[in-house]
């Protein structure tokens, strides 16, 4: 056999998630690499699979979601898919690293988080609740060679896909459908130690950031989930063809503090699809850095570097927002229309000064087209610094088409900016 079906006669007496788990075990024991979850659940004769516990994935496994609809059971605290070594005692060791894990949808494959279960970051590990990570739809840690593709994740109970110390992987053709009825409904989060990963063809709506790279040395990433034999940088990431939105946050967000380095990131083709719908207003298409929080210290110059961003279509507020530090980076082909405020900013309106400003060196911003429907409450470029750590050096802004906008560059650091060809 080249695959095992979750509808195999041997599993019909089991619950839906137990049937898939049993199929995975048979596949592992018999060196079969593929498990298929069909559209119709033979046990119930319904086109629905109810998961009341996570399916644990071994190395060398491909889970095929064949036009199936998976829904999490009400009131449970668990993931839908998690790598099997996650909570083992050797999960952070070299011999605990897993490899070759594939979750692939065929046709219309949907994973639905269903109804909220009360577990949030505020209730995490309080009053009998487990850690918030139990609410990730897909949770993978200390893995290499992995693929997640061709699926829809909706109503996620926290982040849809959470990767920690993951390398050499691809996330492709994934749609998110979150309503922002639960805090922090991110789509994809790459965390400490993620490297050599392609994120492509992502669409839909995140309740929080649609795609996020989050490097923080605190919480579970410095305690039970830290992999000491791997570097903890987030690097060599390609993010391309993002056609989606966030209800009120960023579409693509990059944040690193506490000495975690974030570098060599390519972001190409990000299109905000919100069209300024009521209640759907992402504050930034691209967000880099955040002074609002850090566990130990903010990043210093050189720890956020070589970020290459191109082809950004922004309809709301800020196309690109940068805080904390940035160096040796390029932003080009930025298109601002409809309700956009700014093409590039180190501030955000209505926030206190201490969480704004940036130190930016050796960076080019070019080919900016600003054509909005009404007068912007802000300038096209905002270069503000708010404390002695903020500064601008060798920052070039060139080839800007303003459509007659009067406020082109503002900020107490604007005299440090080199401008060329402002029309």
- Which pLDDT value is given to residue 303? 98
Question: Which whole number is the average pLDDT over 176-194?
Answer: 94
Please answer whether residues 192 and 232 qualify as being in contact, where contact means their C-beta atoms are separated by less than 8 angstroms: yes
Q: Are strands 284-288 and 409-410 parallel, antiparallel or unpaired?
A: unpaired
11-50: per-residue pLDDT in tens? 999 999 999 999 999 999 999 999 999 999 999 999 999 9
How is residue 128 written in tokens?
Answer: 């009998």
pTM of full prediction above 0.85? yes
How much of the chain, in percent, has pLDDT values that exceed 90?
Answer: 86
- Which pLDDT value is given to residue 243? 96
More confident residue, 23 or 223: 23
DSSP 256-319: EBTT--EEEEEEEEEEE--TT-TT---SEEEEE--TT--SS-B--TTSEEEEEEEEEEEEEEEE
- Which pLDDT value is given to residue 388? 83
302-356: per-residue pLDDT in tens? 999 999 999 999 998 999 999 999 999 999 999 999 889 999 999 987 788 788 8
Nearest to 145 by CA among 82, 212, 34, 60: 60
Q: How many CB atoms within 10 Å of residue 79?
A: 24
Q: Name, in order, each residue with C-beta under 8 angstroms of 279's C-beta and a sequence gap of 6 or more.
A: 247
- Which pLDDT value is given to residue 278? 60
372-394: per-residue pLDDT in tens? 888 888 899 999 988 888 999 99
Nearest to 390 by CA among 331, 329, 326: 326
- The single residue listed with the structure tokens 């922004």 is 314
- Which pLDDT value is given to residue 348? 87
- Which pLDDT value is given to residue 221? 63
Which residues face 332 on adjacent strands?
Answer: 310, 366
Give the confidence band of 277 by pLDDT, cuts at 50, 70, 90. low
* Dist CA 372 CA 341 (whole Å): 8
- Residue 388: strand, helix, or coil: coil
Give the confidence band of 8 by pLDDT, cuts at 50, 70, 90. very high
- Which pLDDT value is given to residue 301? 96
- Which pLDDT value is given to residue 352? 81
Q: Are strands 61-66 and 55-57 parallel, antiparallel or unpaired?
A: unpaired
Q: Which helix (H) or strand (E) holds 29?
A: helix 16-29
Q: What is the DSSP letter of 22?
A: H
* Dist CA 148 CA 134 (whole Å): 19
Residue 119 scores a pLDDT above 60 = yes
- Which pLDDT value is given to residue 403? 80
* Dist CA 111 CA 124 (whole Å): 23
Q: What is the DSSP letter of 104?
A: E
Give the confidence band of 222 by pLDDT, cuts at 50, 70, 90. low
Cα of 392 vs its chain's centroid, Å: 28
* Dist CA 280 CA 36 (whole Å): 36
284-307: per-residue pLDDT in tens? 999 999 998 888 899 999 999 999
Please answer whether residues 321 and 286 qualify as being in contact, where contact means their C-beta atoms are separated by less than 8 angstroms: yes
- The single residue listed with the structure tokens 């850090």 is 294
Average confidence score pLDDT of the chain: 94
Per the document, the length of the chain is 423
Please answer whether residues 90 and 134 qualify as being in contact, where contact means their C-beta atoms are separated by less than 8 angstroms: no
Half-sphere exposure of 215 (CA within 13 A, CB side): 28
């Amino acid at each position: 056999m080249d695959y095992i079906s979750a509808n195999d006669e041997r599993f019909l007496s089991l619950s839906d998630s137990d049937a898939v788990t049993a199929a995975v075990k048979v596949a592992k024991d018999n060196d079969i690499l593929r498990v298929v979850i069909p559209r119709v659940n033979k046990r119930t004769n319904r086109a629905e699979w109810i998961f009341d516990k996570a399916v644990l994935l071994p190395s060398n496994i491909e889970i095929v979601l064949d036009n199936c609809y998976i829904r999490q059971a009400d009131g449970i605290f668990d993931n839908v898919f998690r790598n099997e070594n996650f909570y083992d005692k050797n999960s952070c060791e070299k011999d605990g690293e897993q490899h070759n894990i594939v979750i692939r949808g065929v046709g219309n494959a949907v994973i639905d988080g269903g109804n909220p279960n009360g577990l949030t970051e505020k209730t995490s590990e309080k009053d009998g609740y487990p850690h918030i990570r139990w609410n990730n739809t897909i949770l993978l840690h200390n893995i290499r060679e992995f693929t997640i593709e061709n699926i829809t994740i909706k109503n996620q109970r926290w982040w849809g896909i959470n990767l920690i110390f993951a390398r050499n992987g691809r996330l492709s053709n994934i749609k998110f459908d979150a309503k922002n009825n639960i805090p922090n409904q991110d789509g994809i989060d790459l965390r400490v130690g993620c490297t050599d990963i392609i994120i492509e063809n992502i669409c839909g709506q995140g309740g929080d950031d649609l795609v996020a790279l989050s490097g923080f040395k605190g919480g579970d990433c410095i305690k039970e989930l830290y992999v000491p034999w791997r570097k903890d940088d987030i690097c060599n990431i390609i993010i391309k063809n993002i056609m989606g939105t966030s209800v009120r946050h960023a579409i693509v967000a990059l944040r690193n503090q506490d000495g975690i380095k974030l570098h060599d990131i390519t972001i190409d083709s990000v299109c905000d699809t919100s069209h300024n719908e009521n209640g759907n207003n992402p504050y930034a298409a691209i967000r880099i850095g955040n002074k609002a929080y850090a566990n130990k210290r903010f990043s210093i110059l050189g720890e956020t570097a070589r970020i290459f961003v191109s082809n950004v279509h922004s309809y709301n507020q800020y196309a690109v927002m940068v805080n904390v530090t940035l160096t040796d980076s390029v932003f080009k082909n930025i298109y601002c229309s409809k309700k956009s405020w700014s093409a590039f900013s180190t501030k955000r309106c209505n926030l206190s000064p201490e969480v704004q400003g940036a130190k930016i060196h050796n960076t080019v911003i070019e080919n900016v087209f600003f054509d909005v429907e009404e007068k912007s409450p802000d300038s096209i470029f905002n270069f503000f610094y708010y404390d002695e750590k903020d500064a601008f050096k060798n920052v070039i802004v060139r080839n800007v088409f303003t459509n007659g906008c009067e406020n082109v560059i503002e900020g107490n650091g604007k005299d440090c900016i080199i401008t060329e060809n402002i029309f």
